[in-house]
Homo-oligomer: A and B are copies of this chain.
Amino acid sequence: MLYLIGLGLGDAKDVTVRGLEVIKSCSRVYLEAYTSILSVGKEALEEFYGRELILADRETVEQESDEILRDAAVTDIAFLVVGDPFGATTHGDLVLRAAKAGIQHRVIHNASILSAIGCCGLQLYNFGETVSIVFWTDSWKPESFYDKIRRNRLSGMHTLCLLDIKVKEQSIENLMRGKKVFEPPRYMTVNQAAEQLLQIVQNRRELALTENTICVGLARVGATDQHIAAGTLQQLSAVDFGGPLHSLVISGCMHPLELDMLRLFAVEPSSFDQINVEDSSTYLSS
């Protein structure tokens, strides 16, 4: 049996009781290491689980899936994924390879940022399509995420923006020399995402989304030191959210209860209601 086990969002203790039982009983335990991170490292997980973990980066999963699935027809293999196994990244490829080899799979679900984001007080029902904001480079500044946010907002829907993660990147120099030397991992901050959005907003000057649109920045959701702040896009570009992972939500049309919840996290509680009135009037006239 291939077990796909979600680890949740915070640290080692966010695994489920069932997930921990399965981890302890499997022959081999892989830790997916390329789409997300927990606030703790591999060693802390190994200590808490009482098991050695085999790191599986993107190359391993794509090129050595036979090794991951070895003997899984007769023994149990665990594949650990931060968040939910079918959350932000799909692991369909591994499941399909298992199915082709006649190996059954089971999913042990856990929290994913896609639903945990509800902790900011915006209703999950009212979210439209999720978007990914990628790091701009000097020569590559895609704006497709803006168009999706705009579309959601015009339908009154909120937008969850997943922020870019760059791990195991090679510099062009090292890539050309064939050197497997990797750059330090980079995790996009709310500030960086807000600044990229502000550039688009300032170029386009559309009423659907402006520097005064109410947004929510979230860092380390589910961890003990999580940080949530609600304010204008401009305000959020200057808030210090601390370490990764960060997420950004662009509000749509807000129910009074949603607004009451956001006020708990307001950057400037005293001006929050006034900002919202201005943002809503802009938004409604767009």
Residues on the B chain within 8 Å of A110, using CB: 8, 16, 110-111
Interchain CA distance A110-B6 in the complex, whole Å: 10
Q: Which of B15, B84, B155 contacts A17 (CB 8 A)?
A: B15
Question: Is A231 among interface residues, defined by CB-CB distance under 8 A?
Answer: no
> Which of A30-38, A71-79, A179-187, A256-264 lines the interface with chain B?
A256-264
* Chain B: CB-nearest residue to A114: B115
Contacting pair A96 B261 (CB below 8 A): yes
Q: Does A10 contact B (CB under 8 A)?
A: yes
CB-based contact B118/A115 at 8 Å: no
A179 CB, nearest partner CB in chain B, Å: 32
Verify if A238 is at the interface (C-beta below 8 Å from B): no
CA distance A20 to B258 in the complex (A): 29
Contact with B along A84-109 (1 / 0, CB 8 A): 11111010110110010000000111
Are the CB atoms of B17 and A87 closer together than 8 Å? no
> Which residues A155-195 have CB closer than 8 A to chain B?
155, 157
Considering the chains assembled together, what is the distance between the CA atoms of A188 and B123 in angstroms? 23
Task: Tell me which of A61-69, A125-133, A196-204, A206-214 binds B.
Answer: A125-133
Within 8 A of B (CB), among A9-26: 9-10, 12-18, 20-21
28 contacts between A and B (CB under 8 A): A6-B111, A8-B110, A9-B109, A10-B18, A12-B17, A13-B17, A14-B17, A15-B16, A84-B116, A84-B118, A86-B116, A86-B118, A86-B124, A87-B118, A87-B124, A88-B124, A90-B118, A92-B261, A96-B260, A109-B111, A109-B116, A109-B221, A109-B222, A111-B115, A115-B115, A125-B129, A127-B130, A129-B155
Besides A95-B121, A129-B157, 10 new A-B residue pairs in contact (Cβ under 8 A), listed by A number: A10-B18, A15-B17, A17-B17, A85-B118, A85-B119, A86-B115, A87-B124, A92-B121, A107-B119, A126-B129
Interface residue ranges, A against B (CB under 8 Å): 6, 8-10, 12-18, 20-21, 84-88, 90, 92-93, 95-96, 99, 107-112, 114-116, 118-119, 121, 123-130, 132, 155, 157, 221-222, 257-258, 260-261, 264
